[in-house]
Amino acid sequence: FEKSFSLSDFMLREIELLESYDLSQYIDKPKTEIHFHELFQKLTKTDFEILVKEKNSSKKLYPASTTKIMTGIVAIENVANLNEIVKISRNASGTNSSFFPFKRGDRISIMDLLKAALINSNNNATIAIAEYVSGSEKDFVKLMNEKAKEIGALDTFFQNTNGLDTKYPEHKTTARDLALIAKYSMNNELFRKIISIKNDYIIINDEKVVIPLFYEFLNSLRGFPNLFFTITFHVHVGFRF
């Protein structure tokens, strides 16, 4: 983003855009009395979809940390015991552009790794998850790409589990594919539960570590946890985290 343009400003503009459409066919109220949050609450309780606006939806872009959506759902579907304790490897240690580091030998549960990845966007948590499930990040990424094809995200190609793209020029997806991935993931009860958490902690070496939300502005969206994916979809159309 440019320095003069904040994500919160972008969201306000997106909400204003949505409210400018005549949505009275979906909510039994006059257009002037319909608010975006009310529409969103209704949409999350129904099975139908509305495409309000589409632009560059098939353009391939770097997904950045939204990569972790796929990492999370693939892990959830492939781990039988999320409470199992694992040790952080050398490859998954360090900060790696995250809010807090892991040290080699740290003990942590798979569930807490998922929370670190999906709530706090920790980049090394995804590597540790991948190593547990598949033995290596490279092999886990194969599962991610297989899942993308399975759900119809045919213009998506993952090269890592966290979205860091400096060394991965082909790590790309599209807004359309990201919406499909998000929709698929939101059908999983545990995934919905994790991404709906507002404040929580994880346990590393039997000690509690508070994990704040990666995007502080999400605190203002309490009561609308699924809105994260609406934000992701709109931002991904024309912008990159």
- Determine whether 24 is an active site residue: no
- Catalytic residue chosen out of the listed positions 65, 98, 134, 185: 65
- Determine whether 198 is an active site residue: no
The CA distance from 91 to 182, in Å, is 28
The CA distance from 210 to 112, in Å, is 11
- Catalytic residue chosen out of the listed positions 98, 121, 134, 185: 121
Please check whether residue 181 is in contact with residue 70, taking contact to mean a CB–CB distance below 8 angstroms.
yes
Phi (first) and psi of residue 150, to 5 degrees: -60, -40
Contacts of 53 (CB under 8 A, 6+ apart): 17
Beta-bridge partner residues of 109: 85
Pairing of strands 207-211, 200-204: antiparallel
- Catalytic residue chosen out of the listed positions 68, 115, 147, 172: 68
- Determine whether 57 is an active site residue: no
> Which residues are catalytic, by number?
65, 68, 121
